[in-house]
Amino acid sequence: MKPVLISLLEPLNKLSASEQMVLEKIMQPVSFSAGTYIFKEGSFADSCYILEEGIVRIETASESSSNFVVNYLEAGTIFGEISLLDKMPRSATAYAQTNIIAKKILIQELEILLETSPRILICLWEMFRKAAPLGVRSLNELTIKKNHFVINPEVEVMLDKALLAQKEIQTWSEERIDALLLVIASSIAQHAESLATATVKATRVGDILDKVTKNKIASLGIYRSLVGKSGCGFISNNKINNVCEIASPMGIIFGMIPMTNPVATAVFKALICIKSRNALILSFPLSTKNVGTLVCEIIQEALIRQDAPVELIQWLKHRSSREQTEILMKHKNVSLILATGGASMVKAAYSSGTPAIGVGPANTPTLICADANIQHAARTIIVSKSFDNGLICGSEHNLIVDARVRKNFIKVLEQEGAAILTHEEKSYFSTVAFEDKSNRLQAKIIGQSAAKIAVMANIKRDYHIKLIIVPNEFLSLDNPYAYEKMAPILSLFTVQNEIEGIDLCRSILQIEGKGHTAIIHTKNKAVVRRFGLEMPASRILVNSPGVHGIIGLTSALDPSFTLGCGTFGGNSTTDNVTYSNLLNLKRVAYYQAPKFLDPEIFKNTYPQWLLQLLNLLNFLKLNALVTFISQRVSIQLRR
């Protein structure tokens, strides 16, 4: 998209050359990176902007904590002017949808123009006056959408098609379903490399080779965990208790996908939804919409090849799909929201009124006990935390090391490629890696390789740096290293024994990551037991790499790319979510005689001697006789 010359915009093109020069001097050139905000809703207005290059997204918050998109602005547009006109706080938030270049006009400069160049001010004011009604109209329309349920024709068509597709596969056998899953999984695996490349190009985070592996695990690996299992109908029969379970699909699932993991999460959700005979509609983040389209088209081609209804898997395709997302989350025909992503997304899903399964942030503490296999622990941590440049939330985030093995452990870490920062290195590194106000990782650090981050922070070693480890003395809320770090960066705390280590791990999870994952390296089963009892975490891994353990690759956990955090983390389940979480289980229970008739409870129903007789017959396992006598007595008593 070509930049726009402001001097050519109406009515600024009416200004003389000298007036154009004056205007140019008062306008400050500014630029914003994609994804950053320009101004926030509710903030004081001290300026407006004229967009020269790029796209700006205007949003306003809804009661459900999600955001409505008011408009997308392109080059040549003025924005932020409404608050200058009505002298009220900002009515919406402006984000850089792409990298943008703009000119900023401060209100003080406008006041100066009133005295020095009123003709320029008149032209600017005319430009403001023409632009403002468009913005006000967008906000008025949005107010209507916020307060009334909106019928979106495109959404309604998608849902109608999804219902028909979902009904069509209800009669499919497990063998036919599994054959379909294999074709889908194989198709994604065949395109794993191109999809990984497209993802890194779109998001600018992560590692292509690791994403190839992840895409194959999410396709073929998940398929292997599902094949042969019962996804509908009678799935169990307890002959002893005479209870059998019948699985029924939920219906239409709305799946929300994270930016960090678009391909693997989408494929995983498609496979578990089809296994459980549900239809799926997916919503991808704006930055990964093209990647999402590639994934879903591959899946739909596989559906066609297997004579399955193509509308079984659908996705929101348009840039303005946030409105559709809001509608889908609250739609009566959506049975469940499967939300994998950031806290605001999950909160919006749980606030929608539709049943939801969400996830939470991780901040995995990893305790290295004195009896741990140091070589094994160091290698697993390097392999896990460096995978996909630290983007997997359940990887290790904090190392808690027993002082008795600290020296040897650090030595092995360095041998395996970790850079352990000195006090001087840490001081400068912290300014490079973290935001000043929020104590969060800067966007330029997230999902980048340790080697690239090391160059940014002037960290040098005579070996290839795979991981950056930062020693810390104290844990506190204002310590940026105490939080989730979506990069190949870990904190390292030293403790004197296992008891102190367990306490510190629990404290870390209380700061962030409650309910997700905790890891321990030890040979002592009693210590493992205590660790498991005390950790507020849904997954307790023992001697396992975090990334590989949480998804069931190096553990017996259910393979999954949606990991619940339970009520610890504000979620509805602690499960590694899989197809069984997308089923309604019905239980058929046959009549059987009471196993024990308490004399205190039934003294007004049966004579004392009869209760004793029935309990004796129960003890002798003469159940048929107990049933016959109790039924006959009940009939006589009712008469």
Tokens, residue 225: 């965990």
Q: 88 or 626: which carries more pLDDT confidence?
A: 88
pTM of the model: 0.77
- Helix or strand or coil: residue 401? strand
Domains within the chain, CATH numbers bracketed: 6-147 (2.60.120.10), 153-356 (3.40.605.10), 365-561 (3.40.309.10), 599-638 (no CATH)
User: 10 Å Cβ neighbour count for 159?
Assistant: 24
Half-sphere exposure (Cβ direction) of 491: Cα atoms closer than 13 Å: 25
- Mean pLDDT, to the nearest integer, of 287-296? 94
Alpha helices in 74-152 (DSSP H): 82-86, 107-116, 118-147
pLDDT confidence band for 214 (50 / 70 / 90)? very high
Cβ 296 vs Cβ 195: under 8 Å: no
In whole angstroms, give the CA distance from residue 151 to residue 145. Answer: 10
In whole angstroms, give the CA distance from residue 622 to residue 616. Answer: 9
Per-residue pLDDT reduced to its tens digit, 538-589: 999 999 999 999 999 999 999 999 999 999 999 999 999 999 999 999 999 9
Per-residue pLDDT reduced to its tens digit, 340-359: 988 878 888 898 899 999 99
Per-residue pLDDT reduced to its tens digit, 177-197: 999 999 999 999 999 999 999
Active-site residue list: 393
* Secondary element (H or E) of residue 402: strand 398-402
Of 290, 325, 296, whose CA–CA distance to 152 is shortest?
325
Q: What angle do the packed helices 406-415 and 374-386 form, to 10 degrees?
A: 50
- State how far the alpha carbon of 285 is from the alpha carbons of 130, 203, 240, in Å: 33, 10, 50
Residue 246 buriedness (CB in 10 A; 0-12 / 13-18 / 19+): middle
- Mean pLDDT, to the nearest integer, of 418-428? 96
Of 379, 319, 360, whose CA–CA distance to 574 is shortest?
360
pLDDT confidence band for 14 (50 / 70 / 90)? confident
Residue type, 185: A
Per-residue pLDDT reduced to its tens digit, 300-342: 999 999 999 999 999 998 754 677 888 899 999 999 999 998 8
332: Cβ–Cβ under 8 A, 6 or more apart, which residues? none
